[in-house]
Amino acid sequence: MAEEEGSKTSWRCVAGTFYAFISAAFTIYLVVTLITRPLFPIRSDSAEWSSSWLLLAVLDYYHMAACFCGIVIATETRIASTIWCLLILLLGAPFATLYTAKQIGIANTLTLREDYVAVTAYSVHKPEKPLAGFVGYIVAASYVLIGGGFAAQLVLTIIHYPLTSLATDDAEWAYSWFVTTVLDFYTIAVCMIGIILSTDDMCPGLAWSIGILVITGPPGSAWMAQRLLRGRPLALE
């Protein structure tokens, strides 16, 4: 038992270090991009500007997907987590919203588990199920609608600007995919924010969530890192 706990602690330390590293690395890359190619004014007619921000948006999506997939891997069986992660990484954020809606339907919460030690002795109770009943249906349906809306946008972009050839030297192509990728990021970010707000107290939860909405990926991976490095699990209830 002690050996198993030691193994869990070791893996959490490794994973926490990984998330801390990608948070710092992406922050540096974001700052460099902002200095060399400022976000404002938006230069949609420049292929160089659009392709640079498209690359950053793609990395930002996979940054957040790495966080979300970490939670999926901690929650699901090996086969199920592999399938869900491949869908999210290859086909985009709509599958993250489907997973989030599925989890609400099954568990009536998006709260991450805690290590409940000596439950009887210390009268520790698991969190309540705030997304049960009608509220849960509304929240789950909202995630499905968000995912469906983005899926429609993704299909339209693929039709008008095919991925068969990466026309990064075409300003219109690059800018259209930049906008679509930004929407992809915010679609999966909404899923992560739902988990953070369900797990943390209101003030820190809101602070992390605002950080993700404004700064994008780094606060998300920083949240994952601080949780893991404090020895707290990533699995959903």
3-class secondary-structure state, position 117: coil
- Token pair recorded at residue 59: 């990395």
Residue carrying structure tokens 């690359």: 55
Chain centroid to CA 81: how far? Answer: 15
Model confidence at 6, pLDDT cuts 50, 70, 90, reads low
Q: Give Cα separations from 203 to 87, 104, 112, 197 (angstroms).
A: 33, 23, 17, 9
Q: In terms of DSSP H, where are the helices of the chain? A: 2-36, 47-75, 78-91, 94-107, 119-122, 133-160, 171-199, 202-215, 217-229
Angstrom distance (rounded) from CA 130 to CA 111: 9
Is 129's pLDDT higher than 70?
no
pLDDT digits (tens, 9 = 90+) for 131-169: 767 788 999 999 999 999 999 999 999 999 999 888 889
pTM as predicted: 0.90
Is 221's pLDDT higher than 80?
yes
3-class secondary-structure state, position 214: helix
Q: Percentage of residues in the chain with pLDDT exceeding 70?
A: 90
> How large is the average pLDDT for residues 215-227?
96
Whether the ω angle into residue 41 lies within 30 degrees of 0, i.e. cis, is: yes
Query: Nearest Cα to 192, choosing from 15, 71, 25?
Result: 71
Look at residue 114 in the predicted model and tell me its pLDDT.
Answer: 80
Angstrom distance (rounded) from CA 141 to CA 102: 10
Residue 72: how many other CB atoms lie within 10 Å: 24
